[in-house]
């Protein structure tokens, strides 16, 4: 170590304890702080709750001038600044919620060198007026928070982030640190390139959250299943319940409240003051459940969220990981629970194919969904699968549902062939295509007005699947959809053979499917910590 390095590290530790009240750095914090404080660039991939904020706050305090923090979360800036001021840091923000004279006062403080940290949204930063202002000030660093928002491949793209590529040229002497909790290879590569951070040092933390128990169970009656999770394992705990639609957010919150479970709704359609109020109550109170769309959660720092539940399938593993990552920031045992069913697959496919978006966007969305489905349908350790998605190897964790309770599998090759044959026959001989309900009717030979009218009982595939129950067929369809052996098309989720159907039909490949387990209790506190 050079003299300067040792001195800097000591000073950083002193700030850590004097200002923030902690006595040691976590993970790679010390190395990151050293890199940026010494004027270098850094790309930081660290899971939610890992402690990213200190990685730019401390270098900003160590260096001369003001640290500019770029964040998309305008709604949280006031809170973040208040928290910093409370520990004696000179912080401010510039955004559209400020009156003209307030903004001018902040600008004066900046130019007078009276600010340690200044928060602003990217759309503000890239304005020529702001760039000129910043060029007249002394800057300690740029911190680009939620840096994955620059990636078009990612799930959270914000066009305003693209403008940040200018920082390298406009402020050549000012170190930059980009931070995100999203860590696929593709996002990492793209953000490095787009933010022109090729010269940066990269710090990639482990993405494992060992205290979170991952569980995904078949969706039967999701609210009842959720209620069982809460009453059996999380009575009185704080939690977040994610739903896809605003309507289901509201009905679910009401449904829970009707059963004596304190729950509040949160979605972008609620008036801002209601959202603000619910968010504050959730942060302050114990044992409150927030039922929300994905509009809720980014930047929320509540350490004791004991469970995150998904009543609908997230669109990507990145989304799932970020949302579940809001559980257990304090390191104590927590649950990430999801109910997932055939309807989720059908409606998400429909949503992707039916949209007006570009072919590129659809391709991305499809591959995100496929990876998410593979996680849902895996018979191996969920954590291994999750971490592998982020490019990290690990061994079975002992703290997820598939580890605690390995699913039984069965040889479903013949069943898959029967299903495919039924789908193909219906199409070929009748020129008709059907959703899962009618295909199951045909397999079971179940006479209904519909099937009789269509003379389905005359087909050779009529009743060839009586060895399985309706529920078992629906489970099989869901898993075959997840693997691309079947595909669901159009508004009604019409079943057609998928890209992987050929080898199965020709008996070149066998199909192992998992037996759906009854919803069950997980082993709380089991496994590793």
Q: Tell the smallest beta-carbon distance from residue 13 to ligand ADP (Å).
A: 10
Handedness of CA 465, 371, 313, 213 (dihedral sign): positive
For residue 484, give both structure tokens.
Answer: 């691309």
Residue 431, SS3? coil
Size of the chain, expressed as the number of residues it contains: 529
User: Are the CB atoms for 209 and 174 separated by under 8 Å?
Assistant: no
Residues 6 or more apart whose CB falls under 8 angstroms from that of 240 comprise 289, 290, 291, 292, 296, 297, 305, 307, 308, 309, 323, 326, 327
Asked if 121 interacts with Zn ion (CB under 5 A), we say no
Of the pair 210, 463, the CB lying nearest Zn ion is at: 210
Q: Tell the smallest beta-carbon distance from residue 57 to ligand ADP (Å).
A: 8
Of the pair 48, 421, the CB lying nearest ligand ADP is at: 48
With CB under 5 A as the rule, give the number of residues binding Zn ion.
Answer: 5
Of the pair 59, 328, the CB lying nearest Zn ion is at: 328
User: Are the CB atoms for 341 and 347 separated by under 8 Å?
Assistant: no
Question: Whole-angstrom Cα distance, residue 38 to residue 21?
Answer: 23
Per-residue mark of binding to Zn ion, 384-403 (x: CB under 5 A): -------------x--x--x
For residue 420, give both structure tokens.
Answer: 């495919």
User: Are the CB atoms for 216 and 382 separated by under 8 Å?
Assistant: yes
Q: Tell the smallest beta-carbon distance from residue 22 to ligand ADP (Å).
A: 4
Which of 383, 418, 425, 456 lies at the binding interface for Zn ion (CB under 5 A)? 383
* Region of residue 434 (phi > 0: left; psi between -120 and 50: alpha; otherwise: beta): beta
Structure-token match 């982020």, residue found: 390
Q: Tell the smallest beta-carbon distance from residue 197 to ligand ADP (Å).
A: 19
Q: Tell the smallest beta-carbon distance from residue 299 to ligand ADP (Å).
A: 8
Which span (19-27, 321-329, 376-384, 446-454) binds Zn ion, by CB under 5 A? 376-384
- 229 CA to centre of own chain: 21
Residue 239, SS3? strand
Residue 264 pairs in a beta bridge with 290
Residues 6 or more apart whose CB falls under 8 angstroms from that of 414 comprise none
| Partner from Zn ion, ligand ADP, none binding residue 282, C-beta < 5-8 Å depending on class | none
Binding site for ligand ADP (CB under 6 A): 22, 25-26, 29, 46, 48-54, 301, 303, 329
Q: Tell the smallest beta-carbon distance from residue 409 to Zn ion (Å).
A: 16
Of the pair 51, 343, the CB lying nearest ligand ADP is at: 51
| Partner from Zn ion, ligand ADP, none binding residue 383, C-beta < 5-8 Å depending on class | Zn ion
Q: Tell the smallest beta-carbon distance from residue 234 to ligand ADP (Å).
A: 22
**Residue 512: burial class (beta carbons within 10 Å; 0-12, 13-18, 19+):** exposed
| Partner from Zn ion, ligand ADP, none binding residue 22, C-beta < 5-8 Å depending on class | ligand ADP
Pairing between strand 486-489 and 494-497? antiparallel
| Partner from Zn ion, ligand ADP, none binding residue 212, C-beta < 5-8 Å depending on class | none
| Partner from ligand ADP, Zn ion, none binding residue 381, C-beta < 5-8 Å depending on class | Zn ion
Question: Whole-angstrom Cα distance, residue 474 to residue 513?
Answer: 12
- 251 CA to centre of own chain: 23
For residue 159, give both structure tokens.
Answer: 């066009």
Of the pair 201, 246, the CB lying nearest ligand ADP is at: 201
| Partner from Zn ion, ligand ADP, none binding residue 51, C-beta < 5-8 Å depending on class | ligand ADP
Q: Tell the smallest beta-carbon distance from residue 238 to Zn ion (Å).
A: 25
Q: Tell the smallest beta-carbon distance from residue 400 to Zn ion (Å).
A: 3
Q: Which residues of 102-123 are buried (b: 16+ CB within 10 A; e: fewer)?
A: ebeebbebbeeeebbbbbbbbb
Q: Tell the smallest beta-carbon distance from residue 53 to ligand ADP (Å).
A: 3
| Partner from Zn ion, ligand ADP, none binding residue 54, C-beta < 5-8 Å depending on class | ligand ADP
Of the pair 387, 420, the CB lying nearest ligand ADP is at: 387
Q: Tell the smallest beta-carbon distance from residue 468 to ligand ADP (Å).
A: 46
DSSP letters, 367-430, are: HHHHHHHHHHH-SS-HHHHHHHHTT------SSBHHHHSPPPEEE-HHHHHHHHHHHHHHHHHH
Of the pair 325, 497, the CB lying nearest ligand ADP is at: 325
| Partner from ligand ADP, Zn ion, none binding residue 397, C-beta < 5-8 Å depending on class | Zn ion
| Partner from Zn ion, ligand ADP, none binding residue 52, C-beta < 5-8 Å depending on class | ligand ADP
| Partner from ligand ADP, Zn ion, none binding residue 261, C-beta < 5-8 Å depending on class | none
Neighbours of 377 (CB within 10 A): 20
Interface ranges with Zn ion (CB under 5 A): 381, 383, 397, 400, 403
């Amino acid at each position: 170590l050079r003299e300067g390095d040792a001195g800097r590290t000591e000073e950083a530790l002193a700030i850590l304890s004097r200002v923030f009240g902690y006595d040691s750095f976590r993970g790679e914090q010390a190395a990151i702080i050293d890199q940026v404080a010494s004027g270098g660039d850094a790309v930081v991939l660290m899971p939610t709750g890992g402690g990213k904020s200190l990685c730019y706050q401390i270098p900003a305090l160590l260096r001369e001038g003001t640290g500019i923090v770029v964040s998309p979360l305008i709604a949280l800036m006031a809170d973040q600044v208040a928290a910093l001021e409370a520990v004696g840091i000179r912080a401010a923000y510039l955004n559209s919620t400020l009156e003209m004279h307030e903004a001018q006062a902040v600008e004066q403080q900046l130019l007078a060198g009276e600010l340690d940290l200044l928060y602003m949204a990217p759309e503000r930063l890239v304005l020529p007026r702001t760039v000129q202002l910043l060029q007249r000030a002394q800057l300690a660093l740029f911190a680009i928070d939620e840096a994955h928002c620059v990636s078009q491949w990612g799930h959270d793209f914000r066009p305003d982030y693209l403008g940040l590529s200018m920082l390298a040229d406009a402020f050549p002497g000012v170190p930059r640190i980009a931070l995100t909790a999203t860590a696929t290879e593709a996002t990492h590569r793209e953000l490095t390139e787009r933010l022109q951070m090729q010269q940066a040092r990269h710090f990639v933390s482990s993405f494992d959250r060992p205290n979170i128990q991952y569980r995904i169970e078949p969706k039967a009656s999701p609210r009842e299943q959720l209620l069982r999770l809460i009453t059996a394992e999380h009575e009185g705990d704080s939690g977040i319940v994610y739903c896809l639609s605003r309507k289901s957010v509201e009905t679910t919150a009401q449904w829970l409240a009707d059963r004596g479970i304190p729950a509040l709704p949160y979605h972008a359609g609620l008036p801002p003051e209601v959202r603000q109020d619910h968010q504050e109550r959730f942060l302050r109170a114990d044992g409150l459940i927030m039922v929300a769309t994905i509009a809720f959660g980014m930047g929320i720092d509540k350490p004791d969220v004991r469970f995150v539940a998904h009543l609908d399938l997230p669109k990507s593993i990145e989304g799932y990981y970020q949302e579940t990552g809001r559980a257990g920031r304090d390191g104590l045992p927590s649950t990430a629970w999801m109910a997932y069913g055939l309807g989720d697959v059908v409606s998400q496919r429909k949503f992707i194919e039916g949209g007006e978006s570009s072919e590129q966007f659809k391709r991305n969305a499809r591959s995100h969904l496929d990876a998410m489905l593979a996680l849902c349908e895996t018979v191996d350790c969920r954590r291994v699968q999750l971490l592998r998605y982020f490019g990290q190897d690990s061994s079975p964790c002992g703290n997820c549902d598939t580890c605690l309770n390995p699913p039984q599998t069965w040889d479903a090759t013949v069943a898959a062939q029967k299903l495919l044959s039924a789908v193909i026959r219906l199409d070929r001989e009748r020129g008709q295509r059907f959703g899962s309900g009618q295909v199951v009717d045909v397999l079971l030979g179940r006479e209904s007005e519909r099937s009789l009218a269509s003379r389905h009982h005359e087909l050779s595939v009529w009743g060839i699947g009586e060895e399985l129950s309706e529920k078992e067929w629906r489970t099989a369809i869901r898993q075959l959809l997840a693997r691309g052996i079947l595909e669901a098309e159009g508004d009604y989720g019409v079943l057609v053979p998928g890209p992987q159907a050929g080898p199965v039909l020709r008996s070149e490949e066998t199909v192992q499917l998992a037996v759906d387990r009854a919803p069950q209790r997980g082993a709380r506190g089991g496994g590793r910590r």
